[in-house]
């Protein structure tokens, strides 16, 4: 028998309660775990908390409590939230658990004996805010950002892990295992980092007391990342090693794709795995994070239901990319897709089945071309959804399914079952329509069960089942099988949100903590007449490719789809944006600007950006439902 599918989330720091960033990661892991169970696999799912280190020590001191007391409090927050959201992890690991502490010390000792860990003196720069040693290059970057005050000169005794010895093995592994990091563009960042050369890694501190002591040299505590990463080993049952899928935010990809495999290689335990690095939830352009004070807490959104929040996360965030959160966008999505979309389709279908067929699902006897086409679409969308979900792309999977659900709405409009019901001569046609709709909903309940376990179960029961949909498997599911009995009573799947009311009652999310200097607003430019203005061809584009122009820190070469064609555009936005974060963004393009050459590349257009002239460009973003080619006027 094959080993269980082993999936992990990062273990979260206990210096703060969870926000929707942490919640998103755990939902993603839970959805994937549930999906694999419904593929008939055994699944082992691990999550937990990272409790040692200076951040926690300081946060506890500020509250006048011990670090362990703080950890206990925050852990309770996490475990209650995960319970309320129906997370299906098997263990919630804490780095203060006894078996973990023993594991970390055992492995430290083993690598020390082997020579992969050695004691030496670190002399150089240290970043106080990151709690990390800083290379010369990083120091220059910080200085350029005006953050030199965060750096101090340091000389201290520390244990090093011989990371430099693993550079070649890591690069070889990257080359042989293109599946090691998803998505690809994030993998490139990792490769470039390692190709740039690896320095040995300090993994102990004498300045911190809240941590696991180095065995036999107790004035040192083991530095957090060596301690934290090993949780995946401690928390893994014997039969599940290695992890199949490790989900992380892009902020901690380097630790997982460089340090973690190197530790395991040193321990002789490394085996291929996949690390899936997702993007960030942003507030405007900024990462949502506690230190910026701009977080949204999950309770604010859970008022609309656990299923709704899970659905929103999976439907709105293309894995790997950043996404701006807006409360309005959240409500629009739920109203459009759950109240109007699936909810409306289910209630119409169920009430027609009750009204026209007394709750008994008919067998289709005669399908016309339209009925055939709809039945066929189901046969296509079902495996397509499964394949996309298997690639962890629930965003695309749900998109495909909802396109199909919209097509079903159109089918009802065209078939006009209410007219068919008036004449018994139309019975075969009405049977075909009702059976098609029933089958579509039944398949939908099954497909969305990992994403919306509660709503899927409600729908499943409305369709007449008394079983648990989550216990079914996708494999062998008879899409055109007959109903097992009469359908149940219709129940509303999702209550439409009164957006205006919610917005008026909403507590504003704290603005980013930094104080922005007063703007030096430029004067309005000279008046132009409307004809002159309309000569400028502005249109919506989507960025398909983006890469830095060699030898320039400012220029990015992009391929942009503007509806009619794809254009090469070079933009001076490289200081404000990483190429990876530009992919798939909608932008406004000046499409009839004369081409010009920038560092040898011909640029055919320009992207509109707002700017205060002093700091950085802010790309102008059309709303999500705009399409490449739309004119802006």
Minimal distance in Å, beta carbon 276 to ligand ME8?
Answer: 10
Pick from 402, 398, 399, 417: which is nearest to 349 by CA?
417
- Compute the distance between CA of residue 420 and CA of residue 55 in angstroms, rounded to an integer: 68
> What is the DSSP secondary-structure string of 489-520?
----S-PPP-HHHHHHHPPPPPPPSSPPPPP-
Minimal distance in Å, beta carbon 79 to ligand ME8?
Answer: 15
- Compute the distance between CA of residue 543 and CA of residue 559 in angstroms, rounded to an integer: 6
Judged by beta carbon, residue 151 or residue 288, the one nearer ligand ME8 is 288
Instruction: From 8-16, 188-196, 372-380, 389-397, give the range in contact with ligand ME8 by CB under 6 A.
Output: 8-16
253-292 residues near ligand ME8, rule: CB under 6 A: 280-281, 287-289
Minimal distance in Å, beta carbon 231 to ligand ME8?
Answer: 6
Q: What is the CA radius of gyration of the chain?
A: 28
Instruction: From 144-152, 243-251, 583-591, 622-630, give the range in contact with ligand ME8 by CB under 6 A.
Output: 243-251
Judged by beta carbon, residue 12 or residue 126, the one nearer ligand ME8 is 12
Judged by beta carbon, residue 289 or residue 444, the one nearer ligand ME8 is 289
Return the DSSP state at 424: G
Minimal distance in Å, beta carbon 278 to ligand ME8?
Answer: 7
- Candidates 4, 21, 362, 617: give the one binding ligand ME8 (CB under 6 A): 21
Contact letters (x/-) for ligand ME8, 100-139, by CB under 6 A? ----------------------------------------
Pick from 545, 9, 45, 573: which is nearest to 248 by CA?
9
CB atoms within 10 A of CB 621: 17
Pick from 287, 227, 225, 235: which is nearest to 256 by CA?
225
Instruction: From 4-12, 98-106, 402-410, 484-492, give the range in contact with ligand ME8 by CB under 6 A.
Output: 4-12
- Compute the distance between CA of residue 10 and CA of residue 28 in angstroms, rounded to an integer: 12
Structure tokens that stand for 183 in this block: 């998505």
Cβ atoms 202, 223 nearer than 8 A: yes
Is residue 11 a contact point for ligand ME8 (CB under 6 A)? yes
- Candidates 41, 73, 156, 251: give the one binding ligand ME8 (CB under 6 A): 251
Cβ atoms 368, 351 nearer than 8 A: no
How far, CA to CA in Å, does 218 sit from each of 3, 271, 339, 380?
39, 32, 59, 62
Instruction: From 223-231, 328-336, 398-406, 575-583, give the range in contact with ligand ME8 by CB under 6 A.
Output: 223-231
Residue appearing with tokens 């503007």 = 562
Judged by beta carbon, residue 76 or residue 366, the one nearer ligand ME8 is 76
Q: Which residues of 2-28 are buried (b: 16+ CB within 10 A; e: fewer)?
A: eebbbbbbbbbbbbbbbbbbbbbbbbb
Instruction: From 22-30, 130-138, 164-172, 178-186, give the range in contact with ligand ME8 by CB under 6 A.
Output: 22-30
Minimal distance in Å, beta carbon 250 to ligand ME8?
Answer: 7
Which residues partner with 181 through β-bridges?
Answer: 275
Judged by beta carbon, residue 19 or residue 357, the one nearer ligand ME8 is 19
How far, CA to CA in Å, does 548 sit from each of 280, 508, 585?
21, 37, 16
- Compute the distance between CA of residue 609 and CA of residue 574 in angstroms, rounded to an integer: 13
Judged by beta carbon, residue 287 or residue 557, the one nearer ligand ME8 is 287
Judged by beta carbon, residue 226 or residue 494, the one nearer ligand ME8 is 226
Which residues partner with 125 through β-bridges?
Answer: 134, 153
Minimal distance in Å, beta carbon 50 to ligand ME8?
Answer: 3
Beta strand pairing call for 117-127 and 151-161: antiparallel
3-state secondary structure 429-478: HHHHHHHHHHHHHHHHHHHHCCCCHHHHHHHHHHCCCCCCHHHCCCCCCC
Instruction: From 21-29, 418-426, 460-468, 579-587, give the range in contact with ligand ME8 by CB under 6 A.
Output: 21-29
Beta strand pairing call for 274-278 and 181-182: parallel
- Candidates 13, 174, 180, 577: give the one binding ligand ME8 (CB under 6 A): 13
Number of residues interacting with ligand ME8: please give it, by CB under 6 A: 21
Pick from 465, 431, 443: which is nearest to 361 by CA?
431
Instruction: From 16-24, 185-193, 234-242, 593-601, give the range in contact with ligand ME8 by CB under 6 A.
Output: 16-24
Judged by beta carbon, residue 91 or residue 499, the one nearer ligand ME8 is 91
Contact letters (x/-) for ligand ME8, 49-78, by CB under 6 A? -x----------------------------
Give the CB-nearest residue to ligand ME8. Answer: 21
Instruction: From 245-253, 361-369, 534-542, 610-618, give the range in contact with ligand ME8 by CB under 6 A.
Output: 245-253
Judged by beta carbon, residue 322 or residue 371, the one nearer ligand ME8 is 322
Is residue 228 a contact point for ligand ME8 (CB under 6 A)? yes
Is residue 182 a contact point for ligand ME8 (CB under 6 A)? no
Q: Report the interface residues with ligand ME8, using CB under 6 A.
A: 10-13, 21-22, 24-25, 50, 228-229, 231, 248-249, 251-252, 280-281, 287-289
């Amino acid at each position: 028998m094959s080993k269980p599918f082993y999936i992990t989330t990062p273990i979260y720091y206990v210096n703060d309660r969870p926000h929707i960033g942490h919640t998103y990661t755990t939902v993603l892991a839970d959805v994937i775990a549930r999906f694999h169970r419904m593929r008939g696999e055994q699944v082992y799912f691990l999550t937990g908390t990272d409790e040692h280190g200076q951040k926690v020590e300081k946060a506890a001191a500020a509250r006048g409590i011990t670090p362990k007391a703080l950890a206990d409090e925050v852990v309770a927050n996490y475990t209650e939230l995960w319970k309320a959201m129906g997370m299906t992890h098997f263990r919630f690991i804490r780095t203060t658990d006894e078996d973990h502490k023993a594991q970390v010390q055992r492995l430290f000792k083993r690598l020390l004996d082997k020579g992969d860990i050695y004691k030496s003196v670190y002399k150089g720069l240290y970043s106080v805010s990151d709690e990390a040693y800083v290379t010369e290059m990083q120091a220059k970057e910080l200085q350029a950002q005006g953050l030199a005050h965060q750096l101090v000169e340091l000389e201290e005794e520390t244990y090093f892990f011989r990371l430099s010895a693993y550079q070649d093995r890591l690069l070889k592994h990257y080359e042989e295992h293109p599946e090691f990091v998803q998505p690809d563009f994030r993998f490139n960042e990792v490769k470039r980092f390692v190709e740039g050369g690896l320095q040995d890694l300090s993994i102990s501190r004498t300045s911190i007391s809240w941590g696991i002591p180095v065995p036999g040299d107790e004035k040192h505590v083991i530095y957090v990342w060596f301690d934290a990463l090993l949780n995946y080993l401690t928390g893994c049952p014997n039969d599940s090693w290695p992890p199949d899928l490790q989900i992380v935010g892009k902020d901690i990809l380097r630790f997982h794709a460089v340090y973690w495999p190197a530790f395991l290689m040193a321990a002789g335990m490394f085996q291929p795995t996949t690390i899936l690095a997702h993007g960030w939830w942003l507030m405007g352009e900024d990462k949502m994070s506690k230190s910026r004070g701009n977080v949204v807490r999950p309770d604010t959104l859970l008022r609309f239901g656990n299923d709704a929040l899970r659905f929103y996360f999976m439907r709105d965030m293309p894995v790997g990319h950043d996404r701006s959160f807006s409360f309005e966008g959240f409500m629009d999505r739920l109203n459009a897709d759950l109240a109007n979309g699936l909810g409306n389709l289910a209630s119409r279908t169920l009430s027609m089945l009750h009204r026209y067929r007394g709750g008994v699902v008919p067998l289709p006897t005669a399908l016309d071309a339209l009925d055939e086409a709809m039945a066929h679409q189901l046969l296509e969308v079902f495996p397509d959804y499964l394949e996309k979900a298997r690639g962890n792309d629930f965003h695309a999977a749900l998109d495909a399914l909802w396109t199909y659900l919209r097509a079903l709405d159109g089918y009802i409009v065209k078939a006009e079952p209410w007219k068919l019901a008036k004449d018994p001569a139309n019975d075969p046609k009405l049977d075909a329509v009702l059976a098609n709709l029933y089958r579509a909903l039944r398949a939908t309940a099954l497909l969305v069960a990992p994403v919306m376990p509660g709503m899927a179960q409600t729908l499943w029961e409305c369709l007449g089942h008394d079983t648990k949909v989550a216990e079914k498997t996708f494999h062998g599911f008879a899409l055109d099988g007959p109903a097992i009995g009469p359908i149940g009573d219709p129940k509303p799947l999702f209550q439409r949100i009164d957006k205006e009311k919610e917005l008026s009652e909403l507590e504003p999310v704290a603005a980013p903590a930094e104080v922005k200097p007063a703007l030096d607003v430029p004067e309005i430019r000279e008046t132009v007449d409307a004809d002159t203005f309309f000569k400028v061809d502005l249109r919506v584009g989507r960025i398909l490719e983006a890469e830095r122009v060699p030898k320039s820190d400012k220029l990015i070469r992009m391929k942009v789809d503007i509806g009619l064609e794809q254009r090469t555009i070079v933009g001076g936005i490289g200081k404000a944006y990483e190429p990876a974060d530009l992919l798939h963004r909608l932008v406004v393009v000046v499409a009839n600007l004369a081409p010009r050459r920038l560092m040898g590349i011909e640029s055919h257009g320009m992207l509109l950006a707002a700017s205060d002239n002093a700091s950085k460009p802010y790309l102008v973003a059309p709303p999500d439902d705009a399409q490449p080619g739309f004119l802006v006027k």
